A and B are shown apart, each in its own frame.
Chain A
Amino acid sequence: DQQVKQNSPSLSVQEGRISILNCDYTNSMFDYFLWYKKYPAEGPTFLISISSIKDKNEDGRFTVFLNKSAKHLSLHIVPSQPGDSAVYFCAASYSGSARQLTFGSGTQLTVLP
């Protein structure tokens, strides 16, 4: 039973355009959501997070939107750069879980020059 789902295994975007990566979750106990970027053979790098009490968090080119009623979050990258090409993982946790992370399956983003 996948509690965090990323339904798009891959996404290609032209440089300078917006990249939108989507994530859905089923466990209503999740109250904290994170996005990580990962290159092959490396550990995930934290990008941005959002608490369930917010619906938007912005950090530079990265913005995360949370729609609790739809159990959906998205990561917007604008403008996209070739260096953004990587696998992006959505993750979720809840306060009663010792902050264990449940990961989605990842989306491979390719930014074309």
Chain B
Amino acid sequence: GAVVSQHPSWVICKSGTSVKIECRSLDFQATTMFWYRQFPKQSLMLMATSNEGSKATYEQGVEKDKFLINHASLTLSTLTVTSAHPEDSSFYICSAPRPGGETQYFGPGTRLLVL
């Protein structure tokens, strides 16, 4: 069964609004979670590393003020796309590694469409 969940699975919003996406680890605690973005027919690109109890680490080129990350607890990380624009339309996916393990488990993804 799923070990990482995301909510919502898809969202349509107007340009200029903010959208929050939740990522939860279901049966394990994750001190670190990762947020990826995938544009059509492209690979998954790491956006940021979410750290419980400290600030997120952003990849080069990713605006931290636009993509706000909050690792609220050991099982929840949220990504807020602030003042969304059509170019932010994409597929956002989170992942979390099991403690002591090498494998990361991915959420089902969130499809964002900004009109």
Contacts and interface: CB of A to CB of B under 8 A. Distances in A.
A96 interface: no
Contact of A42 (B32, B95, B97, B108): B108
For B6, B106, B108, which residue has the most chain A Cβ atoms within 10 angstroms? B106
B58 interface: no
B102 A101 contact: no
Contacts, number: 53
A111 B24 CA distance: 34
A103 B111 contact: no
Contacts of A89: 43-44
A43 B95 CA distance: 9
B104 interface: yes
A89 B109 CA distance: 16
Interface in A12-54: 32, 34, 36, 41-46, 49, 51
Contact of B102 (A32, A41, A45, A102): A32
B104 A46 contact: yes
A75 B1 CA distance: 24
B46 interface: yes
Interface of A: 32, 34, 36, 41-46, 49, 51, 89, 93, 98-106
